């Protein structure tokens, strides 16, 4: 899996690649990440990358000729992802789709964003949430992490992918470790019982309970298994 991240601030990206699982994945050759400085494609002696918006308004806009010059240097690519709060939501499903590609280009904007004509050169416009950041680097890193962890070998236990939040449309079940009691808060007895079927049932029930409490809209869209549907009916009767 190969990534090209185009940004005005490469040093916001590079340190992120020097720690934890991303560093190990890079060292093992499971992923490759090239960080491209957009400023290198700027115009004139001062390497200008932005200009004032037509029609007036606050802030500066990244020029299309500069952005596309950097983009074309990175091609060919399977996907060109422009990060923008105006994009479609970045979800686990989208991460799974992108993780199957060979080469992703991630365009991280700054200021008031890219000239709208840059969108014509992107295959996807994605947003990581309904809020505005100072730039697209955090969003680019979110896409990079969410897809890279799905590349075979990056995460040690492949089973963890199948139990992630959102994979089945629900949040993950709550997790516990030692000590069994902490400041009066105990680990649920079922997790200490050694009864694997009961543990599995409890986990599915708690995943449903947590999703209903925190993200109820997900339950309506989730493709529930027969067991989960029965658990949901039992929980409704309990209430």
Catalytic residue IDs = 85, 112, 149, 164
Query: pTM score, two decimals?
Result: 0.89
Supply the pLDDT for residue 201. 93
As to burial, measured by CB atoms within 10 angstroms (0-12 exposed, 13-18 middle, 19+ buried), residue 68 is: middle
Residue 87 CB: number of other CB atoms within 10 A? 17
More confident residue, 21 or 218: 21
- Predicted pLDDT at 168: 72
- Give the per-residue pLDDT at 129: 96
Q: Which carries the bigger pLDDT value, residue 157 or residue 186? A: 186
pLDDT at 239: 63
Which tens digits make up the pLDDT trace of 102-160?
999 999 999 999 999 999 999 999 999 999 999 999 999 999 999 999 999 999 766 66
The answer to whether 50 is a known ligand-binding residue is no
* Mean pLDDT along residues 82-98: 96
Whether residue 125 is annotated as binding a ligand: the answer is: no
Residue 86 has pLDDT above 90, yes or no: yes
Rounded Cα–Cα distance for residues 207 and 201 (Å): 10
pLDDT, one tens digit per residue, over 12-56 is 999 999 999 999 999 999 999 999 999 999 999 999 999 999 999
CA pair distance 16, 27, nearest whole angstrom: 14
Beta strands in the chain (DSSP E): 2-7, 32-37, 50-51, 61-62, 79-89, 103-108, 124-127, 181-182, 185-186
Q: What is the DSSP letter of 123?
A: S
Segment 214-224 shows an average pLDDT of 86
Counting residues of the chain whose pLDDT is more than 70, the rounded percentage is 94
Q: Is 153 annotated as a binding residue?
A: no
pLDDT of residue 17: 97
What are the chain's domains? 2-149 (3.40.1280.10), 181-236 (1.10.1270.20)
Residue 224 has pLDDT above 80, yes or no: no
Query: Does 54 carry a binding-site annotation?
Result: no
One DSSP character per residue, 130-161 reads: SS--SBSHHHHHHHHHHHHTTSTTTSS-THHH
Quick one: pLDDT at residue 142? 98
- For residue 182, the SS3 value is strand
Contacts of 183 (CB under 8 A, 6+ apart): none
Kindly list the distances between the CA atom of residue 62 and the CA atoms of 67, 155, 182, 203, 233, in Å, as whole numbers in the listed order: 7, 36, 52, 48, 53
For residue 98, CA distances in Å to 12, 75, 151, 153, 187 come to 23, 16, 10, 17, 37
pLDDT of 226 higher than 70? no
Rounded mean pLDDT, 201-215: 92
- Label residue 222 by pLDDT band (50, 70, 90): confident
Mean of per-residue pLDDT scores for the chain: 92
* CA–CA distance, 209 with 231 (Å, rounded to integer): 10
Q: Is 130 annotated as a binding residue?
A: yes
């Amino acid at each position: 899996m190969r990534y090209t991240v185009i940004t005005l601030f490469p040093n916001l990206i590079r340190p992120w690649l020097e720690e934890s699982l991303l560093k190990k994945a890079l060292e093992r050759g499971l992923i490759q990440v090239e960080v491209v400085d957009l400023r290198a494609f700027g115009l004139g002696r001062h390497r200008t990358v932005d200009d004032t918006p037509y029609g007036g308004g606050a802030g500066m806009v990244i020029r299309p000729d500069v952005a596309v010059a950097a983009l074309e240097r990175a091609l060919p690519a399977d996907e060109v992802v422009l990060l923008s709060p105006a994009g479609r939501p970045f979800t686990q499903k989208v991460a799974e789709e992108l993780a199957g590609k060979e080469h992703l280009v991630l365009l991280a904007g700054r200021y008031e964003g890219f000239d709208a004509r840059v969108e014509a050169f992107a295959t996807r416009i994605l947003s990581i949430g309904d809020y505005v950041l100072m730039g697209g680097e955090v969003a680019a890193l979110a896409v990079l992490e969410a897809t890279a962890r799905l590349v075979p070998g990056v995460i040690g236990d492949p089973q963890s992918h199948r139990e992630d939040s959102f994979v089945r449309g629900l949040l993950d079940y709550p997790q516990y470790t030692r000590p069994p009691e902490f400041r009066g808060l105990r680990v649920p007895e079922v997790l200490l019982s050694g009864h694997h079927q009961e543990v599995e049932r409890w986990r599915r029930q708690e995943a449903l309970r947590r999703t209903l409490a925190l993200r109820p809209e997900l339950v309506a869209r989730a493709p529930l298994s027969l067991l989960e549907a029965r658990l949901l009916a039992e929980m409704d009767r309990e209430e």
